[in-house]
Structure 1
Amino acid sequence: MAMDSNWSNSCHYDHNVTFFYNLVAKKINVVWTPRDILVIGLGLTVSVIVMLANLMVMVAIFVNRRFHFPIYYLLGNMAAADLFAGIAYANLMLNTGPRTSSLTKEQWYIRGALIDISLTASVANLLAVAMERHQTIFTMQLHSKMTKRRVVLLIIGIWAVGIIMGLVPSLFWNCECDLSDCSTVAPLYSRRFLIFWAVLNLLTFFIMMAMYTRIFIYVRYQSQLASQHTSEMWHSQAVINLMKIISIVLGAFVICWTPGLVTLLLDGLLGAASHANDYEKYCLVFAECNSLVNPIIYSLRDDEMRRTFKCILCCLCGRGADPQRDAPSLEIDSPLPEEGRRKSEDQALCLDTDNKEDSWTVPGV
Structure 2
Amino acid sequence: MDFLNCTDGFFATSNNSYDSLENTKLPPSKIVLTIILSVVAILTTFLNCLVITAIAVTRKLHHPANYLICSLATTDLLVAVLVMPFSIMYIQKEMWIMGQAVCTIWLSVDITCCTCSILHLAAIAIDRYRAITDAVEYSRKRTFARAGAMVALVWFLSILISLPPILWRHFSSDPEHENQCIITHHHMAFTLYATLGAFYIPLMLILILYYKIYKAAQTLYMRREASRASRHSCMTNGSMIPSTYPAGDGDVDGGPRSPEPISPVEKSISDPSTEENPRDRARVSKAFQCKARRHDSRSESRKSQLYQGPRISGSRERKAASTLGLIIGAFVICWLPFFVKEVIVNTCSSCSTSMEMADFLTWLGYINSLINPLIYTIFNEDFKKAFQRIVRCSHYL
Q: Does the aligned pair in 1 maintain the 2:45–2:80 contact within 8 Å?
A: yes
Residue 255 of structure 1 aligns to which amino acid in structure 2? I
Q: Provide structure 1 residue ranges, at least 5 long, that are not aligned to the other structure.
A: 1-19, 321-349, 353-365
Larger RCO: 1 or 2 (CA < 8 Å, sep 6+): 2
State the 1:282 CA deviation: 0.8
CA contact (8 A) 1:263 1:276 kept: no
Return the match for 1:226 from 224, 227, 249.
224
Q: Deviations over 1:176-197 (max 9, x none)?
A: 27999x9xx9743325434432
Aligned residue in 1 for 2:64: 70
Deviation at 1:278, TM superposition (A): 4.7
Identity of aligned residues (%): 19
Which of 197, 214, 217 in structure 1 is aligned with 2:215? 217
The alpha-carbon deviation at position 143 of structure 1 amounts to 5.1
Determine which of 101, 111, 115 is the counterpart of 1:106.
101
Aligned position for 1:123: 118
In the other structure, the counterpart of 2:327 is: 249
What CA distance in whole angstroms lies between the structure 1 residues aligned with 2:186 and 2:44? 30
Query: Using a 3 Å threshold, how does the CA distance of structure 1 residues 351 and 25 change in structure 2: closer, same or farther?
Result: closer
State the match for 1:281 in structure 2. 359
Letter of the structure 1 residue corresponding to residue 88 of structure 2: M
Matched, 1:295 2:373: yes
Closer/same/farther in 2, CA of residues 67 and 101 from structure 1, 3 Å limit: closer
Displacement of 1:209 in angstroms is 0.2
> Tell me, what secondary structure is at the counterpart of 1:301?
coil
TM-score scaled to structure 1, two decimals?
0.69
Distance 1:306 1:314 in 2: 12
Distance 1:300 1:130, change over 3 A: closer
When the two chains are superposed, the root-mean-square deviation of aligned CA atoms in Å is: 3.6
Alignment correspondent of 1:199: 196
Q: Which runs of 5 or more structure 2 residues have no equivalent in the other structure? A: 1-7, 232-308
Distance 2:64 2:320 in 1: 13
Whether the 8 Å contact between 1:253 and 1:290 is mirrored in structure 2 is yes
Residue of structure 1 in register with 2:296 after alignment: none
1:85 maps to which residue? 79
Q: Is 1:29 equivalent to 2:17 in the alignment?
A: yes
Amino acid at match of 1:83: L
Within 5 Å, give how 1:133-172 maps onto structure 2. 133-141=128-136, 145-172=141-168
Going from structure 1 to structure 2, the CA distance change for 1:285 and 1:136 (only over 3 Å counts) comes to same
Task: Pick closer, same or farther for the CA change 1:91–1:143 going to 2, 3 Å.
Answer: farther
- Name which one, 1 or 2, has greater alpha-carbon Rg: 2
